[in-house]
Amino acid sequence: MTVKDRIEEQVEEAEAHWRHIAPLLSEITDEADYDRRVAMMDHLLDRASDLEDDPRAELASRIGDLIEAYDEQKRPMPVSGNREVLRYLMAEHGLTQSDLPEVGGQSVVSEILAGKRDLNWRQVRALADRFGVSTDAFRGG
């Protein structure tokens, strides 16, 4: 079989199945479509083998790319400042301003939360270690 013959065969296969495949690979249009794609991707991943060349895993990956693109466009992650991240971590762990000796005394924590003072690099590293997060979590300023 020649290269041209193989190409023609592949195109014919694609044409025969395109109406079934195209809706899976098109841009996500709304929340209902988003929910369907997430469910479909989950289903594909449940059925896919651990082998990288499993076509179901590849299709799930392509659908995942579309989901990610929709998320980035419709649900962008907010950029949080240091104090919002710190406030969130404190609430999540039930901590008071006095419970953060790695930052400083209660008055220092209070000034940071009020926006009167910024976290320094030493404090950021200590907080990242304490809470098991990346220092990038505090990058927003």
Could you report the per-residue pLDDT of 1-13, keeping only the tens digit for each?
899 999 999 999 9
Nearest-10 crossing angle of helices 121-131, 82-93: 30
Buried b (16+ CB within 10 A) or exposed e, 63-83: beebbeebeeeeeeeeebebb
Q: CB atoms < 10 A from the CB of 10, how many?
A: 10
State residue 11 phi and psi, 5-degree precision: -65, -40
The letter for the amino acid at 139 is R
Q: What confidence tier does 127 reach under pLDDT thresholds 50, 70, 90?
A: very high
Report, as an integer, the average pLDDT of 24-53. 87
Average pLDDT over residues 11-38: 93
The pLDDT of residue 117 is: 87
